[in-house]
Chains A and B, each alone.
Chain A
């Protein structure tokens, strides 16, 4: 047996490698930099890494390769777009995360213990959040570009593990936060077991673990369909879990609520991009020729997801939970883009993911600002009259909500329109109609929040709006500007996407 040294094509992997390097340096910083400097060093390092990585992505934007990392990674237009989206969202998320007030001073300390109090007083910070974030981001970057099952699985775990951890690091309501971590972890592991099991059957079906090999078998149609179907079903469970589609959604409201808000925003936005990115790649390339088998099931799930998310969101009293259900509904809309299985669907999905991600980070960033003496106030009843107290914050939040609701002149509308038209084009009319109807239902609760903020008198209960730190302010402003700009003049981005978004196989 002759061993040939692998050729990795590091240029194409460089965005991910940069992130990993940054994360490793971050770990070293934890070990060697003094406490006082750690926070600022980590932040600078993280942002620097992300920007560098983004620049690298931009540099390789026209690369087309299936052979990077010995065929484990495919770099093509959608890959670039998704990676860039993830990085942009990661950067603004990090701006919000940088406001360390959200994280526990000492994760190991018992909630309410002297040790914790002391840690808070001494200004201790869990700066490990930064490298963890970078690890998660590199997992997210890898997830949608993976082109074999092993890399896919490793990337899935790589993006999940840091998130499980970070979900438990909230400064306040720590029991809830830890509970969120536990739930996220158990269910995540549970679903990844399904994912793995599905992978096994895909392997059994095609005798290959690469996407290309599986695709060949699907196209050839010579294999054993039962294995393929089981494989598709179980792999889908894993992916649908990550995107929060019903009935695999149950973790998301609890985790969104319990996790530190900046993490929630980051997770809601970036994970969705990564997971949908992977999903798009798998369904558009690997399973495309087996559309007959998965399309009806996925349509059913999309429909249930949209309706469930919209209906349950109506009944929510907590802003984070409401946004969680809203994100479930959006997962349903995005599934319509997967079902579409055409070029328009791909373009639309990428646009939607980016637009939704930016708005989500912005919205959660605003949630971090509304506080009382005990921390963030997420009870919607206490958001009453926010418009009176701080009109700009309320107006910005309203802007995000309108974008979620898909009101014209916001990015949400263009996204919804493009994704529905793509789905309609592919014949999924039922999904489109349900989508439109559930948008109407969804509008109901977005508007309810706007009513609360603007048309209800404030209650004097100590709820106030924190003056945002500069970084948070930048994140919010960036988000709202992008949200509006993409609603008013999305042409450049759409053109960019459509020119680039072609999967190579």
Chain B
């Protein structure tokens, strides 16, 4: 029993070692999240923090949570973040200069105050000295213990959470799903339209984009035989995004070498 008391009061030496190695790293990673420019780097650091936390969970007698943390959080949630980052533009980097006047000093003061006060309060609270330890609770196995609680005491919230999941799914659908409002035109229909249309100019298909030899890419309108650009050759959504380059840069003879090629 003495041994148990010791264990309860003090974490065992290996755990201490683990903590003192991993905790600073976790903090550093967390801080790094704030300091790195690229969102994707932040995400990687975040993933590191999560994995570190998973290890801490396991170390604290919550193996189930540790695993779930890695699988659900690091595995699923962080992936979702990365997906979205890709969608938004993985390259995009944040400028770290503050644009809202006075916000940064306030934030730093608040952070120091908040963290300082919280830590100081915890210090006064002298927690953990009479800690009970998780071992007894885990005596029948961590997963079993949690399952016991989850399916008896907390069965109601557990069930209700399902509604939350449906809500989330429904929400994502509402915001992201494009209904097919009109019938998708069939190949046949398109073909008929092309030939029965007002003009036969596009009957043979739209001109392909790009200016050979100079900038053979989809964001530049093709040049017609008379040297004028063909707007129809570029995808409408590129135009809408404003990503179309002016093909006049690439006309022979008037090559503007100052325009840097994008890599």
Is A–B contact present in the complex under a CB 8 A cutoff?
Answer: yes
Residues of A within 8 A of B (CB): 1, 3-6, 8, 13, 20, 23-24, 27, 30, 69-73, 106-109, 113, 115, 118-119, 122, 124, 126, 128, 131-132, 135, 138, 142, 148, 150-151, 154-155, 157-158, 161-162, 164-165, 168-169, 204, 224, 226-227, 229-230
CA distance A229 to B171 in the complex (A): 36
Q: Which of B145, B148, B164, B178 contacts A154 (CB 8 A)?
A: B164
Q: Which of A115, A132, A154 contacts B170 (CB 8 A)?
A: A132
A106 touches B163 (CB 8 A): no
CA distance A131 to B144 in the complex (A): 35
Known: A70-B155, A157-B164, A161-B168. A128 touches B182 (CB 8 A): no
* Across the A-B interface, the 6 shortest Cβ-Cβ residue pairs: A69-B156, A226-B125, A72-B156, A165-B171, A151-B157, A6-B155
* A–B pairs, 22, beta carbons within 8 Å: A3-B148, A13-B156, A30-B170, A70-B152, A70-B154, A72-B157, A107-B174, A108-B174, A122-B181, A126-B174, A135-B163, A135-B170, A150-B154, A154-B160, A155-B160, A157-B164, A158-B164, A224-B127, A226-B125, A227-B127, A229-B121, A230-B121
Q: Shortest distance in angstroms between B184's beta carbon and chain A's nearest beta carbon?
A: 13
- Count how many chain B residues have C-beta atoms less than 8 Å from C-beta atoms of the other chain: 37
| Contact pattern, B 196-236, Cβ under 8 Å of A = 1, otherwise 0 | 00000000000000000000000000000000000000000
List residues of chain B with CB within 8 A of the CB of A229. Answer: 121
Interface of B is mostly: helix
Inter-chain pairs besides A131-B170, A150-B157, 14 sampled, C-beta below 8 Å: A13-B156, A69-B155, A70-B153, A107-B175, A108-B174, A115-B181, A118-B181, A119-B179, A126-B174, A128-B174, A158-B160, A158-B167, A165-B167, A165-B175
- B residues 116-154 touching A (CB-CB < 8 Å): 118, 121-122, 124-127, 140, 144-145, 148, 151-154
A132 touches B174 (CB 8 A): yes
B21 at the interface (CB under 8 A from A): no
CA distance A70 to B150 in the complex (A): 11
CA distance A108 to B180 in the complex (A): 11
Residues of B within 8 A of A (CB): 118, 121-122, 124-127, 140, 144-145, 148, 151-157, 160-161, 163-164, 166-168, 170-171, 173-179, 181-182, 240
Q: Shortest distance in angstroms between B113's beta carbon and chain A's nearest beta carbon?
A: 14
Instruction: Return the chain A residue nearest B173 by Cβ.
Output: A128
List residues of chain A with CB within 8 A of the CB of B167. Answer: 132, 135, 158, 161-162, 165
CA distance A224 to B123 in the complex (A): 12
List residues of chain B with CB within 8 A of the CB of A70. Answer: 152-156
Q: Which of A132, A138, A169, A226 contacts B124 (CB 8 A)?
A: A226
List residues of chain B with CB within 8 A of the CB of A106. Answer: 178-179, 181
B125 touches A6 (CB 8 A): no
Interface of A is mostly: helix
Known: A1-B140, A6-B152, A226-B122. A135 touches B127 (CB 8 A): no
List residues of chain A with CB within 8 A of the CB of B145. Answer: 1
Known: A161-B164, A204-B127. A128 touches B170 (CB 8 A): yes
Q: Which of A30, A128, A151 contacts B160 (CB 8 A)?
A: A151
Q: Which of B126, B156, B160, B171 contacts A162 (CB 8 A)?
A: B171
CA distance A30 to B127 in the complex (A): 52
List residues of chain B with CB within 8 A of the CB of A13. Answer: 156
CA distance A13 to B153 in the complex (A): 15
Known: A109-B178, A118-B182. A224 touches B166 (CB 8 A): no
A4 touches B174 (CB 8 A): no
User: A109, A124, A135, A229: which has the most chain B beta carbons within 10 Å?
Assistant: A135
Q: Shortest distance in angstroms between A195's beta carbon and chain B's nearest beta carbon?
A: 15
B151 touches A108 (CB 8 A): no
Instruction: Return the chain B residue nearest A146 by Cβ.
Output: B157
A71 touches B153 (CB 8 A): yes
CA distance A148 to B156 in the complex (A): 11
Known: A119-B181, A155-B160, A224-B127. A161 touches B155 (CB 8 A): no
CA distance A227 to B127 in the complex (A): 9
Instruction: Return the chain A residue nearest B141 by Cβ.
Output: A1
List residues of chain B with CB within 8 A of the CB of A113. Answer: 240
Q: Which of B121, B160, B177 contacts A108 (CB 8 A)?
A: B177
Q: Shortest distance in angstroms between A450's beta carbon and chain B's nearest beta carbon?
A: 37
